[in-house]
Amino acid sequence: MTSKKLLEALNDAIARELQVSVQYMWQHVMAKGISGETVKGIFRKIAITEMKHAEDIAERLFYLGGVPTTKPSAIQVGKGLKEMLRIDKKAEEDAIRLYRDIVRMAEKEGDIVTENLFTEILAQEEEHHSQFASLLED
């Protein structure tokens, strides 16, 4: 049986994924300037990936007997491109920490499927973090 703590962590992950999927899509719409034109596609692509993560996590949580949240974490769009990228880099850092914890919890509970799901998602979040960090460099 899955612990309440792991089920809650999965819902935290869903709320985070819903948050960033909306956040990044709005940034895609609002990005301006020469650099904004370049970054718009990156925001859009990552937003779609994050929504897929929310779906995958929700399916897993529901299978384990939980009820997936529909409420995103607080969305922060930012005003300018640099601020957007700083906010997004931090969001990815938060996800990386949470998902490492979930991998450890799932491993401890012998839940290989959840462990594998989050190992895969974690690799993608690290890639997103790397992209945002790289875009912030001058």
Closest CA relative to residue 89, chosen from 125, 51, 45: 125
CATH number at residue 130: 1.20.1260.10
Q: Which domain holds residue 35?
A: 4-136
- The predicted pLDDT at position 35 comes to 87
Domains of the chain: total: 1
Q: For the segment 11-51, what is each residue's pLDDT rounded down to a tens digit?
A: 999 999 999 999 999 999 999 988 888 899 999 999 999 99
Q: For the segment 108-137, what is each residue's pLDDT rounded down to a tens digit?
A: 999 999 999 999 999 999 999 999 999 999
Backbone angles phi, psi at 7, to 5 degrees: -60, -40
Reading the block at residue 125, the tokens are: 């979040």
- The predicted model scores a pTM of 0.95
Q: For the segment 56-90, what is each residue's pLDDT rounded down to a tens digit?
A: 999 999 999 999 999 999 999 999 999 999 999 99
Q: How many helices, marked H, and strands, marked E, lie in the chain? A: 4, 0
